[in-house]
Amino acid sequence: MMHIALIGGGGHSKVIQDMIQARNDLTVAAILDDKYPSLELENGVYTGPVSSALSLAGGMDRLRFVIAIGDNRTRCAIAMRLGLRPDRYMTLVHPRAYVSPRSVIGHGAVILANAVVNAGAAVGDQAIVNTGAIVEHDCIVSGYAHIAPSATLTGGVKAGTGAFVGAGAAVIPGKTIGDWATVGAGATVIHDIPPRTTVVGAPARIVKYNETGDDFDVEADRPETNFFVQPAYERQRKSVY
């Protein structure tokens, strides 16, 4: 049995708790959220503020963490702040998702129910492929990106670091969504999308240039957090997910 500490106690966390319940090899050991003032143990589950992740990590070698927060910047900020080794984060795949054995999935990445990650695709550390989203063959979903429910990345699309692709959006083959760019719900992307822009509509057009002041330079700060890791088949062999 693998013990999981969830960082975040909101809506995305609830979905991940259900997902853990749907698997008989995992159990929720902690839910950490700043709404909890201090670390407590009740009915075998710890609750406490996010910062208590460090004491739990130090005390329990085999505990694995998942940052169960849908917002990319918040997820990234917490990973940077905690500074845990990438392999302390669990890769979670819902039992009813399809993940090709010829894809690679990063540490702390979460693939939710009915999602598909097809052959040759790579999903980076701390990325989310949400309910029913499709990541087609040879796509790259970079670290801290989030592909929202029912969005479709067709073949060979690259979603940059921290990119967000809204619910039901579609991206035609081979296009790039820039780092920290946002694609609105239902958009149809037919051109490359520059970093840190917001696009909406069909075809998708830029409506906003996002502020850059609080952006994270993930590559420079913690290069190891944005790596793709060993092939999915190897992880399966080791029962990592």
State the DSSP code for 226. G
Q: What is the CA radius of gyration of the chain?
A: 17
Residue (86 or 184) nearer to ligand ACO, CB: 184
User: Could you give the strand order of the β-sheet that contains 182-183, starting from the edge strand earlier in sequence?
Assistant: 92-93, 110-111, 128-129, 146-147, 164-165, 182-183, 197-200, 205-209
State the DSSP code for 89. B
Residue (111 or 229) nearer to ligand ACO, CB: 111
End-to-end CA distance of the chain: 11
> Given the rule CB under 6 A, which of 44-52, 87-95, 172-180, 195-203 is the region that contacts ligand ACO?
195-203
User: Any idea which residue has 């429910």 for tokens?
Assistant: 149
> Given the rule CB under 6 A, which of 75-83, 97-105, 193-201, 217-225 is the region that contacts ligand ACO?
193-201
Single out the catalytic residue among 94, 107, 137, 191.
137
* Residue pair 120/104 in contact by the 8 Å Cβ criterion: no
What per-residue string of b and e applies to 196-209 under the rule 16 or more CB within 10 Å gives b?
A: bbbbbeeebeeeee
CA 232, 233, 234: angle at the middle one, nearest 5? 90
Closest CB to ligand ACO: residue number: 184
Residue 156 annotated as lining a ligand binding site: no
Residue 137 designated active-site = yes
Q: Which of 150, 152, 198, 226 binds ligand ACO (CB under 6 A)?
A: 198
Q: Which of 49, 149, 194, 231 binds ligand ACO (CB under 6 A)?
A: 149
When asked if residue 167 is in the footprint of ligand ACO (CB under 6 A), the reply is yes
Torsion of Cα atoms, 93 then 95 then 96 then 100, to 10°: 60
> Given the rule CB under 6 A, which of 50-58, 76-84, 196-204, 224-232 is the region that contacts ligand ACO?
196-204
> Given the rule CB under 6 A, which of 46-54, 87-95, 119-127, 197-205 is the region that contacts ligand ACO?
197-205
Q: Minimum CB separation from ligand ACO for residue 82, in Å?
A: 23
When asked if residue 153 is in the footprint of ligand ACO (CB under 6 A), the reply is no
CA distance 123 to 111: 9
The full length of the chain comes to 241
CA distance 7 to 79: 10
Find the binding residues for ligand ACO in span 13-72 (CB under 6 A).
70
Q: Which of 10, 95, 173, 201 binds ligand ACO (CB under 6 A)?
A: 201
When asked if residue 113 is in the footprint of ligand ACO (CB under 6 A), the reply is no
And the tokens for 40? 């407590």
Which positions lie near ligand ACO, rule CB under 6 A?
70, 130, 148-149, 166-167, 182, 184-186, 198, 200-201, 207-208
Positions marked active-site: 137
Annotated binding-site ranges for acetyl-CoA: 146
Please state the residue numbers annotated as binding site for substrate: 70
